[in-house]
Structure 1
Amino acid sequence: MMEFYSNGKLLLTGEYAILDGAKGLALPTKFGQSLTVKKSKTGQINWRSLTENNTPWFTTDISIDNFNVITTSDVAAAHRLVQIFRKTKSLNPAFLDSYQGGYVDTKLTFPKDWGLGSSSTLINNMAQWAEVDPYQLLEDTFGGSGYDIACAQSDSPIVYQKIEGNPNVEIVDFDPAFKDRLFFIYLNKKQNSRDAIETYRQLDIDKKELVAEVNDLTSLLLGAKNLDRFEAILNRHEILLSDTLKLPTIKQQIFPDYQGSIKSLGAWGGDFILVTGRQQEMEYFINKGYATVIPYSKMIL
């Protein structure tokens, strides 16, 4: 049996602008997804996707010869998986040539609605299995900047940048002395990153200027030695993106009376936010119905 594992991700700076070459500070998470493969003689890929509680949330049987769907619990998900298999096979024509069938299980270690990279961890695991370029496989299937693939492969914080279309990954020393004052809070809804990307791409703005400003903020954040400085940079980043997207910040929308800083992570309006404060101050969010509050040290590798 073969087993592969990929880390989840959170993007601390550079959301949206990373698509146009901005430097983004990205953090691999302690949560991720595994993929196990056991050869069989069924003539099929017998696929199960499991939750963190080992409950199947998606199953399908696919012909190993042409990747046609035989049975499935979710037609749309099965068609997406077929697309991934076919793109993988096109990148490595020898993929699965030694197989007469296979039992494949994927298992998340986080709730799949959290937005920590259920797609990117799958793509990276598939790429490891098939021995293909994960960035190319991502481009051919889900699209995006690729920072999530870089996180899937890294056990340390990184600065990610696309240079002339190619991924550039720099391991960085990011371990804030004030991390006990940093918390990640789930907004109780998963944001569709593909829709958010499409909306951003249609904006009529000076993206070179945006990239330059985000690059400066990423560098400043890496150099922040105390919480006050860190918060000031987070606030500047939120205002910059708010002005760019013509959207109010999450703090303005939902938590206007909170005293600490709040930073959106990834596509605005869903998934996780980063919040500064003390443990007892997290009761503010819990009382508003946002019960998933994760300390920095329990989220980030």
Structure 2
Amino acid sequence: MMEFYSNGKLLLTGEYAILDGARGLALPTKFGQFLTIKKSKTGQINWQSLTDKNTPWFTADIDLKDFKILNTSDIISAQRLVEIFKETKVLNPSFLKDYQGVYIDTKLSFPKDWGLGSSSTLINNIAQWAQVDPYELLKATFGGSGYDIACAQNDTPIVFHKIEDKPEVSKVDFNPIFKDQLFFIYLNKKQNSREAIAIYRQLAIDKGKLITKVNDLTAQLIESKNLDTFEAIVNQHEILLSEVLNTPTIKKQLFPDYPHSVKSLGAWGGDFILATGRQEDMDYFSRKGYATVIPYSKIIL
């Protein structure tokens, strides 16, 4: 039996602009996904995906030779899985060559709707198993910048950017002394990153100018020594992206009377946000129906 594990992710700066080469501060999470592989003689890939509560949320039986879907609980997910296997085979033609069948279990350690990287952790785990480049596999399947793959592989905060479509990853010392005043709040809905990326791609904007500004804000945020400075940078970042996307900030949309800073993370409109404040301030979000409020130290590696 073989087992692989990959970390989840949160992107603190650089959302959208990271697709075009901006530097983004990315944080690997304490939550992630396991992939367990056991050889069989069924002639099939017998797949089972488990939630963080150990209940199956997706199953599929796929013919090992031609990747034909024989049985599944969700045809769309099964088709995506077949696509991943086919692209993995392209990258490594000997993948699965010595198998007569295989039982595969995946297990998330976070609720799958949280948007912490159920896709990227899967891609990185399969890439480890098949010994292929996870960035190439991501590019051929889900797309995106690849920062989530970098988080899957690292156990410390990183700065990620692309140079001529190649990932550059630098570990950074980001461990703010005010982290007890940083909280991550789930917005009760999962955002479709692929759709958000497609919309961003259509924008007629000066991306070079955007990248320069985002790079500057990312560098400043990493160096911030106190909460006031951190909040000022977060606010600037939100205003910048709001103007670029022609979309109100999440604070204006949902939390206009919250007295501290609120920042979108990743694709705007869903998944997690960052809020500054003290523990008692978090009651504000609970009262509004956002029950998942996680302190920085409970979620970030």
- Taking structure 2 as the reference length, the TM-score comes to 1.00
The answer to whether residue 242 in structure 2 is matched with residue 253 in structure 1 is: no
- Cα separation, 1, equivalents of 2:244 and 2:90: 38
Q: What residue is the counterpart of 1:133 in the other structure? A: 133
1:1-301 matches, cutoff 5 A:
1-301=1-301
1:19-69 deviation line (CA, Å, top 9, x unaligned): 000000000000000000000000000000000010000000000001110
* 3-state SS in 2 of match to 1:99: coil
The letter of the residue matching 1:128 is Q
- Cα separation, 1, equivalents of 2:69 and 2:198: 29
Gaps of 5+ in 1: none
| 1:261 Cα deviation after fit | 0.2
- Cα separation, 1, equivalents of 2:90 and 2:205: 37
| 1:294 Cα deviation after fit | 0.2
Identity %: 74
- Cα separation, 2, equivalents of 1:75 and 1:191: 21
The letter of the residue matching 1:269 is G
| 1:213 Cα deviation after fit | 0.2
| 1:104 Cα deviation after fit | 0.1
The letter of the residue matching 1:68 is K
1:151-191 deviation line (CA, Å, top 9, x unaligned): 00000000000001100000000000000000000000000
- Cα separation, 1, equivalents of 2:228 and 2:48: 47
- Cα separation, 2, equivalents of 1:66 and 1:56: 25
| 1:244 Cα deviation after fit | 0.3
| 1:16 Cα deviation after fit | 0.1
The letter of the residue matching 2:31 is F
- Cα separation, 2, equivalents of 1:96 and 1:204: 44
- Cα separation, 2, equivalents of 1:179 and 1:220: 16
- Cα separation, 1, equivalents of 2:247 and 2:51: 34
| 1:284 Cα deviation after fit | 0.3
* 3-state SS in 1 of match to 2:104: strand
The letter of the residue matching 1:35 is L
| 1:221 Cα deviation after fit | 0.2
The letter of the residue matching 1:120 is S
1:65-121 deviation line (CA, Å, top 9, x unaligned): 011100000000000000000000110000011100000000000000000000000
* 3-state SS in 2 of match to 1:230: helix
Gaps of 5+ in 2: none
The letter of the residue matching 1:239 is I
- Cα separation, 2, equivalents of 1:113 and 1:238: 24
The letter of the residue matching 2:197 is I
* 3-state SS in 2 of match to 1:138: helix
Which runs of structure 1 show a deviation greater than 6 angstroms over 4 or more consecutive aligned residues?
none
The letter of the residue matching 2:174 is F
| 1:295 Cα deviation after fit | 0.2
| 1:12 Cα deviation after fit | 0.2
The letter of the residue matching 1:214 is V
- Cα separation, 2, equivalents of 1:30 and 1:72: 30
The letter of the residue matching 1:290 is Y
- Cα separation, 2, equivalents of 1:76 and 1:154: 30
* 3-state SS in 2 of match to 1:253: helix
- Taking structure 1 as the reference length, the TM-score comes to 1.00
The letter of the residue matching 1:178 is F
- Cα separation, 2, equivalents of 1:43 and 1:238: 52
